[in-house]
Amino acid sequence: MIPSRMRARTTSALVFVAAATAALAQEGAAPPAPPALNLVIVTIDTVRADHLGCYGYFRDTTPHLDALAKDCLRFTRCLAPIAHTTPSHCSLFTGVHPFEHGVLSNFFERPDEVRAALSLQTSPTLQTLAQAMRSRGRKTGGFVGSTPVKRFTGLDAGFDEWSEPDKPRRTGREVIADALQFVDSCGGAPFFLWVHLFDAHGPIAPPRFPPKEYADRYKTDPALRAWLKERGFPDAVAGEHMGEVPPSSAHNYYDGALRFLDDQFDALAQRLRAKDLWDRTVIVVVGDHGQGLGQHGFLGHGTCWDEQLRVPLLVRVPGVAPAVVDLPCSTIDVVPTVAALAPDLADEAFLRQCRGVDLLAEGREPHPIFGMAPDEHDQAALTAARWKLVRRGREAPLLFDLESDPFELRNVASDHKDVVTALVRRLDSEIARQRQSEKLHHAGMAAGAAIDPKILEELRALGYGGTGDDAPTLPAGEPPPAGGERRKESGGGA
C-alpha cells in the first residue's frame, strides 16, 4: 500500500501542476514539458543491510547513506534472489530470477569459451534495463569495480559508456571518478547511470582495499561483542583463504571498508547536487547480496542464510515522500517499483518481461520471496512474513519462525510439518515455473526465431502465452510466483 504521506505529497504536486497548466492555458501559452528524469543505480557489493546506520547498526559506518535514507523509501526486508554477484546483478537488471535468465553462479574463473556460454544472453523477450533506458532516449553509462560484473558477463548490454578495471578489482574512488566524467559529459541530457562499488568485498587488503585509516577505524568493544552474541556468532570461524579468525576481527575490517565505500558514494551525490541534477534524478542504492562475517559459520557468502540474502534498498524519487516499507520484497521488484513512481522512466516492453511487482501498489498482498544459492550448492529458500523454508539438496528442509527467531538459530520444521509441506510444494512449483520461463526467453535467440514445439507445449501447459510476446503468467488457481506477481497494468564467491 502507498504510504499516506507519499499520496499526500504526490497529490499536492499534481494539484500544483494542474493549476499552473490552467494558468498558462488562459494566457494562451503552451505549458513547458517537464524535464526528463535521470536514473542512477548504485549497487553496493557484499553489503548486508544490518551494517548500515539507517538499518539500526550501532556504528557510524554509513553517515552519507544514512543522510540519503532520510529522503528515501527505505525497504527493511529486501532480499537478493541469490548470494552471488554476477547472477544477482543479472536479476536486478532484467527483473527476473536466476533460473529465468540462466546465469546461476559466478563464472569468472572459467575458460573464455565457457564464459561465453555462461554469460547473460539477451533476446527479444529478455532485455536489460540499460537497453530499455537507451530506447527511451537516455544516454547510458556503466562503471564497475570488479571482475564478476565485467563485459564478459553480458551485463554491459545497452551501455553507451562503460569502464571496468584491467585487474580483478579497483577502488570505489576510481569507479566514481569515471562516473563523474560521464555525468559531466551528458551536458544536461537525460541519462541512466550504473555505479558498482566493490569496496566492502573481501579480501580486505590495506593500504589499498581499503586505505589504512579506514581499515584501522573500528576496534572490538562491548557493543560489538553483545551484537555478535545476540546473533549466535561462534568464537572463531575459518575462511577459504585464511585460518581461524574471530568474527569480531572480520567485522572491524568490514566496517572500515564500508565506511570507505560510503565516502565514495558521497562524492557522486555532491556532484549531482552541484550540477543541479539532484531534483530530477531518481536514485536507487541496493546491495547485490550480504556477507556472513562468521554468522552461521560462514565468513563469505553463497548460501541462503538471511545475512547473505538481505540487502539494503533505498529509493529516492523527487516529489515522493520518504517512508519505511516493511513487507518482504526482492531486488527483482526494484525496476517495477521505480517505474510506477516515475512513469517517465517506464518502458512497457521491459515491464512485461519483469517478474517483480510495484511494491507500493494498492492492495498488494505479501507473498513468499524466492532465494537460492549458486547452482552448484543446490539450495533454495522461501521467505514469508513469518516463516522461512530452506532446502539443501536431499537433506530434510529447515524451517525458521522469523517472528520469534529473526536470526535463524532454531530449526522448527518438526513442529510445523504442515507449513513445511505447503512451502516445499510452493518452492517446487516456483522453480519449475522459472526453468520453463528461461526456455521462453532463450528458445529463440534471434528476432522471429521459432520456439521448439515441445517447449511451446510445456509453456502453454504452465499458462504462458508461448509466442514470446507476452510476459509469462501462471495458470488459473496457481499461487502467485514466489518472487512477485505479474504487474496488472502490463497485462563465498563474489
Domain with residue 135: its CATH number is 3.40.720.10
User: Do the domain assignments include residue 456?
Assistant: yes
Q: Which has more confidence, 309 or 489?
A: 309
User: Do the domain assignments include residue 491?
Assistant: no
Residue of 311, 361, 339, 315 lying closest to 81 (CA atoms): 311
Give the confidence band of 443 by pLDDT, cuts at 50, 70, 90: low
Give the mean model confidence (pLDDT) for residues 394-420: 97
Percent of the chain, pLDDT > 70?
81
Give the confidence band of 42 by pLDDT, cuts at 50, 70, 90: very high
Residues 120 and 235 in one domain: yes
DSSP for 125-158 reads: TB--HHHHHHHTT-EEEEE--BGGGSGGGTTTTT
User: Do the domain assignments include residue 415?
Assistant: yes
Residues 297 and 383 in one domain: no
DSSP 8-class letter at 49: G
Rg of the chain over Cα atoms, rounded to whole angstroms, equals 22
Q: What Å distances lie between residue 169 and 121, 145, 166, 252, CA to CA? A: 24, 5, 8, 21
Whether residue 351 contacts residue 339, with contact meaning beta carbons closer than 8 Å, is answered with yes
User: Do the domain assignments include residue 24?
Assistant: no
All 3 cell numbers of residue 283? 536514485
Residue of 43, 164, 56 lying closest to 93 (CA atoms): 43
Looking at residue 15, its pLDDT comes to 37
- Of 353, 378, 402, the residue at which a domain comes to its end is 353
Dihedrals phi, psi of 276, to nearest 5 degrees: 60, 35
Residues 349 and 410 in one domain: no
Looking at residue 395, its pLDDT comes to 93
Number of domains forming the structure of the chain? 2
User: Do the domain assignments include residue 219?
Assistant: yes
Residues 451 and 480 in one domain: yes
C-alpha 322/C-alpha 340 separation (Å) is 16
User: Do the domain assignments include residue 19?
Assistant: no
Residues 302 and 376 in one domain: no
* CATH assignment at residue 404: 3.30.1120.10
DSSP 8-class letter at 106: -
Helices (DSSP H) in 198-328: which residue ranges?
A: 212-215, 222-230, 247-274, 306-309
Whether residue 84 contacts residue 46, with contact meaning beta carbons closer than 8 Å, is answered with no
Looking at residue 437, its pLDDT comes to 86
Return mean pLDDT, the chain. Answer: 85
Residues 117 and 248 in one domain: yes
Predicted confidence (pLDDT) at residue 315 exceeds the cutoff of 60: yes
Percent of the chain, pLDDT > 90?
70
Predicted confidence (pLDDT) at residue 112 exceeds the cutoff of 90: no
Q: Which residue in this structure is represented by grid cell 526486508?
A: 77
Peptide bond preceding 453: is omega within 30 degrees of 0, i.e. cis? no
Residues 223 and 261 in one domain: yes
Residues 294 and 146 in one domain: yes
Buried residues in 314-342 as b, exposed as e (16+ CB within 10 A)? bbbbbebbbbebebbbbbbbbbbbbbbbb
- Of 290, 324, 353, the residue at which a domain comes to its end is 353
HEC string for 213-242: HHHCCCCCCHHHHHHHHHCCCCCCEECCCC
Residues 314 and 431 in one domain: no
Give the confidence band of 363 by pLDDT, cuts at 50, 70, 90: confident
Residues 343 and 416 in one domain: no
Residue of 429, 438, 444, 437 lying closest to 482 (CA atoms): 429
Whether residue 341 contacts residue 357, with contact meaning beta carbons closer than 8 Å, is answered with no
Residues 211 and 297 in one domain: yes
What domain range is 89 assigned to? 38-353
**pTM attached to this predicted model:** 0.84
Looking at residue 205, its pLDDT comes to 81
* Angle, alpha carbons 48-289-156 (nearest 5°): 135
Residues 148 and 279 in one domain: yes
Contacts of 329 by beta carbon, 8 Å cutoff, 6+ apart: 75, 77, 78, 79, 313, 359, 369, 484
- Of 353, 378, 404, the residue at which a domain comes to its end is 353
Predicted confidence (pLDDT) at residue 448 exceeds the cutoff of 50: no
User: Do the domain assignments include residue 238?
Assistant: yes
Predicted confidence (pLDDT) at residue 276 exceeds the cutoff of 80: yes
Looking at residue 204, its pLDDT comes to 80
User: Do the domain assignments include residue 325?
Assistant: yes
All 3 cell numbers of residue 314? 533505498
C-alpha 487/C-alpha 483 separation (Å) is 12
Looking at residue 447, its pLDDT comes to 38
